[in-house]
Amino acid sequence: MGKQKVIIFAFVVLMVLLFFLGAKKIRSLQAQIGEQKEKIAKLDQRLDRVRSLEESLEERRMTGKVLHQIPRVQDPIANKVLVEKFLKSFLSKLGFEAEVKVDGERKSKDFPDLIGVNEVPLRIGTQNYSSYEQVMNMLEEFRYFPFAVEILTIGGTDVAVPGNLRIQLKYYVIPEDS
Amino acid sequence: MLLCVDFSGEKVNVLLAKKKKEKIEVVESLELDVSELGDYLTSKSGKIEEIRVSGLLENTFHKILSVPDMKSKMLKEAVESEVIKAFGNDYQFKQQDLGEVPGPSKVNRKIMTVGMKRDNLEELSKLFADYRVKPSIFTTYPVALQILLEKMELLSEETLAFVEIAHPNSRIVIFQGKEIRVTRELPLAERGKDPESSALAKDIYRTLLFYTESFPNQKVTRLAIAGNSTTSEILENLRQKAGLEIIPFSPESLFQGDISEIHPGCLGLALVDLGHFSFGLIPYSVQEKRKMKKTMTLFSFIFLSILLVFILAIFRLSLNLKNLNLRQGGITGEIKLKEERMKELSLELVSHFIETSQPPWSEILLELAAAVPPGVSLKSMSMKRTRKGWMGEVCGIADGADEINSLVLVERIQNNFVQSPLFTGTKLVYKKLEGKRVAFKIIYQLAV
């Protein structure tokens, strides 16, 4: 009977051990599955977003609703000058006598790295404008070019450029090698 | 092959047989000294498939008990207590229900019990264990004999005495129907000392008388004699003294092969049907081993079952995980492909971004102009794109007829911002009286 008790005890210990290890392994696998499902759900959402974005972009391409770009050359300084000249002439056509500051081209963080879009920060300052309508007209005209307004202020000092109406912009550039 | 071993005093009767469909073929039948058994077992070890053993007659009992009819478990306990009362606790025994018998008040059950001293049983078991042999059954000589006589159709309601005359011990067993009533060992004198074997005949006669005294209404009417030492003188002596019908004992019809040496105990053992045998005694040590084996098997089964369940569960979960990993890889790959494709659509992407991130400037500027009531002039207005959206602020001066009017004007411009669908989160963060004018600052967020 003593021997039998020892055997039963040994088996019980083994079974407890088996339960412990087995349950631990199962719990770990279940946790991994849970994590993986969450990841997949997020990826699914991302895929949906990317798909709809792709569809929208394709549609945009098909309809020809694309932006005009300022001509570019190989030399970055020349590009800077080109942008400045273009903007000054663009604003002049809209009736603005403005001061334009062009900063160096850099990689844009508004788009995924994979796409590879650069941005050129721009500051525009003008002392006077004839009407609100003139300002609205200018902002609407920006939409035909890859300009994104970052700051718009009238009478404020948020943008480091002299003038009553100050605008900070980003000009998005798609490098030719991308 | 089947080896049947019947212990009788210093001698041991051995029968080696082959089981065939209808009959048993005797290969070898011989008498050995107990000391020679080991060598014999060693020499035959490769051929023996099964061993059956009947032990010495001494230290055994065969008793009929009559107990009141009751439930089987209680009946078993009652028999056990009767046996312990009669023979003490040193015996290992088995019982067989022989049926109902009329009792003094109600129906009783007749129970046949057969027992052997534990120590003797253990000794026998050990003897075989030393030669790494495990007998399938241990029983007693009378039980084996009863099986043989049943097969030979010699047992009936008439009492039968069976005598096996052998040297140095003869054995007598008296049967009545299925009951084993008397068992006795009878010493046989050497031929030289008792040439007519009259002493043995007297012993047999005395046993028969004892039976008649014990069972007054039932006389022994038939006598069967077997054994190598049987002589015509003994038969004549018995016929004269007991006046019984001596019936022939010829088991040859049940067996094939050479049975020149007839050992009734061994022949009975060879005829045992293990499936329907009630008196197979199992030594305590063997029972313990079997119990242990059973426990081991049971627990191993449970352990393996649980292990299997866990393995299946883990396997299933691992498979699920693998499938999820594959799915994740698939989605990631597809996203990568789409993003690659988007490289070719970068200008469209920029256009899309500007369209979705820029507010409707005209509407906002018009709404802003509309929100400013007469008497309020804006000093500055700005809107800034942040991670949270477009944040804006306006600073101005409310110039009313007096301080109260100016404060009302500030409240009005604030209300106009609050009520506008284009502005949210409007807060008046600064308000200061400057004479009768009030300077103020309102912050807001664009609702686009």
Per-residue pLDDT of chain B (448 residues; tens, 9 = 90+): 899 999 987 889 999 998 877 778 888 888 888 888 888 888 887 888 899 999 888 889 999 988 888 888 898 899 999 999 999 989 999 999 888 887 677 788 889 999 999 998 998 888 888 888 888 889 999 999 999 999 888 888 889 999 888 777 788 999 988 889 999 988 766 656 666 667 777 888 888 889 988 888 888 888 888 877 777 777 777 777 777 788 878 887 788 777 667 788 998 999 888 888 889 888 888 888 888 899 899 999 999 999 999 999 999 999 999 999 999 999 999 998 888 887 778 888 888 888 888 899 989 999 999 999 999 999 999 999 998 899 999 999 999 899 999 999 999 999 999 999 999 999 999 999 999 999 999 999 998 7
> Per the structure block, which two tokens stand in for B217?
């209404």
Report the SS3 class of residue B11.
strand
The H or E element that residue B5 is part of is strand B2-8
Specify whether A82 is located in the same domain as A165.
yes
Per-residue pLDDT band at A177 (split at 50, 70, 90): low
Specify whether A18 is located in the same domain as A41.
yes
Task: Give the residue from B113, B136, B138 showing the smallest Cα distance to B124.
Answer: B138
Would you call A58 an interface residue with chain B, using a CB distance cutoff of 8 Å? yes
Is residue A81 situated within a structural domain?
yes
Last residue of a domain, one of A66, A86, A115: A66
- Interhelix angle B198-214/B232-242, rounded to 10 degrees, is 40
The answer to whether the CB of B167 falls within 8 A of the CB of B194 is no
User: What is the model's pLDDT at position B248?
Assistant: 76
| Complex-level ipTM beyond the 0.95 threshold | no
The H or E element that residue A46 is part of is helix A2-63
Specify whether A97 is located in the same domain as A145.
yes
At B146, phi and psi to the nearest 5? -60, -40
The predicted-structure confidence for A19-69, as pLDDT tens digits, reads as follows: 999 999 999 999 999 999 999 999 999 999 888 888 888 887 777 766 788
Last residue of a domain, one of A66, A88, A117: A66
Specify whether A29 is located in the same domain as A112.
no
Tell me which amino acid residue B194 is.
D
Is residue A178 situated within a structural domain?
no
Task: Give the residue from B231, B240, B274, B244 showing the smallest Cα distance to B160.
Answer: B244
| Nearest residue, CB atoms, B307 vs list A18, A69, A147 | A18
Dist CA B357 CA B387 (whole Å): 11
The answer to whether the CB of B127 falls within 8 A of the CB of B53 is no
How far does the CA of residue A88 sit from the closest CA of chain B (Å)? 21
Dist CA B411 CA B406 (whole Å): 9
> Per the structure block, which two tokens stand in for B385?
């794109």
Would you call A150 an interface residue with chain B, using a CB distance cutoff of 8 Å? yes
Dist CA B227 CA B340 (whole Å): 105
At A86, phi and psi to the nearest 5? -60, -45
CATH number of B1-65+80-93+116-152+257-282: 3.30.420
The answer to whether the CB of B122 falls within 8 A of the CB of B283 is yes
Report the SS3 class of residue B147.
helix
- Which of A24, A30, A36 to probe by mutation at the B interface, max B CB count within 10 Å? A36
The predicted-structure confidence for A64-88, as pLDDT tens digits, reads as follows: 766 788 888 888 889 889 999 999 9
In this structure, what is the dihedral angle of CA atoms B274, B276, B279, B282, given to the nearest 10 degrees? 50
Task: Give the residue from B150, B159, B128, B160 showing the smallest Cα distance to B53.
Answer: B128
Number of domains, chain A: 2
Specify whether A102 is located in the same domain as A44.
no
> Per the structure block, which two tokens stand in for B368?
């802003």
Of B274 and A106, the one with more pLDDT: A106
Task: Give the residue from B232, B81, B50, B54 showing the smallest Cα distance to B145.
Answer: B54
> Per the structure block, which two tokens stand in for B289?
């081993």
pLDDT at A119 over 70: yes
Report in angstroms the alpha-carbon separations of B67 from B111, B278, B368.
8, 19, 114
User: What is the model's pLDDT at position B196?
Assistant: 61
CA A51 from chain center: how many Å?
17
Write the CB contacts of B239 (distance below 8 Å, at least 6 apart in sequence).
B246
Mean pLDDT of A10-19: 90
Task: Give the residue from A132, A127, A136 showing the smallest Cα distance to A166.
Answer: A127
A·B CB contacts under 8 A: 187
Pairing of strands B179-187, B137-140: unpaired
Specify whether A121 is located in the same domain as A152.
yes
In the numeric block, the tokens 């004549």 are attached to: B236
Domain membership of residue A124 as a residue range: 76-173
User: What is the model's pLDDT at position B200?
Assistant: 78
> Is B380 in contact with A153 (Cβ distance < 8 A)?
yes
- Which burial class, exposed, middle or buried, applies to A120 when counting CB atoms under 10 A from its CB (0-12, 13-18, 19+)? buried
> Per the structure block, which two tokens stand in for B364?
């906002």
Would you call B318 an interface residue with chain A, using a CB distance cutoff of 8 Å? yes
| Nearest residue, CB atoms, B331 vs list A44, A110, A147 | A44
> Is A172 in contact with B338 (Cβ distance < 8 A)?
no
User: What is the model's pLDDT at position B193?
Assistant: 66
CATH architecture group of domain B359-446: 2-Layer Sandwich (3.30)
User: What is the model's pLDDT at position A1?
Assistant: 57
Specify whether A56 is located in the same domain as A115.
no
> Is A4 in contact with B292 (Cβ distance < 8 A)?
yes
Specify whether A36 is located in the same domain as A80.
no
Report the SS3 class of residue B420.
coil
| Residue B374, preceding peptide bond in cis (omega within 30° of 0) | no
Specify whether A81 is located in the same domain as A160.
yes
Last residue of a domain, one of A28, A48, A66: A66
User: What is the model's pLDDT at position B238?
Assistant: 76
Specify whether A54 is located in the same domain as A135.
no
